[in-house]
Amino acid sequence: MLSLHHYLILSGILFSIGAMGVLIRRNAIVIFMCVELMLNAVNLTFIAFSRYLGNIDGQIFVFFVMTVAAAEAAVGLALMIAFYKNRESIDVEDINLMKL
């Protein structure tokens, strides 16, 4: 029988893979995609709990997470374009303008 544990373990695995990607990769857009993956893992947790506890509040929360992710995508990609115009690269190693 499929239980809450299955969903939570899957969500934990996806979250760890996303966290690993954020730490390994150096391309800013790929790091950004890994953050989206982590947000999705959390969304899965919310919806699984909402289903197994019979409470719809978790699904409403997923809406707000999606909205924040969309806003984050717009602003983050605009930042990357602005950075690319300066440096011709979006490697995170090149983001050192504020370094002394």
Interface residue list for other proteins (CB under 8 A): 1-2, 4-10, 12-27, 29-30, 32-34, 36-37, 40, 43-44, 47-57, 59-60, 62-64, 66-75, 77-82, 84-85, 90
Quote the CA–CA distance of 6 and 1 in Å, as a whole number: 10
Give the residue carrying structure tokens 């299955």. 6
Q: For the CB of residue 99, give the shortest distance to other proteins in the complex, in Å.
A: 18
Q: For the CB of residue 98, give the shortest distance to other proteins in the complex, in Å.
A: 17
Query: 50 CB contacts (<8 Å, ≥6 apart)?
Result: 56, 57, 58, 59
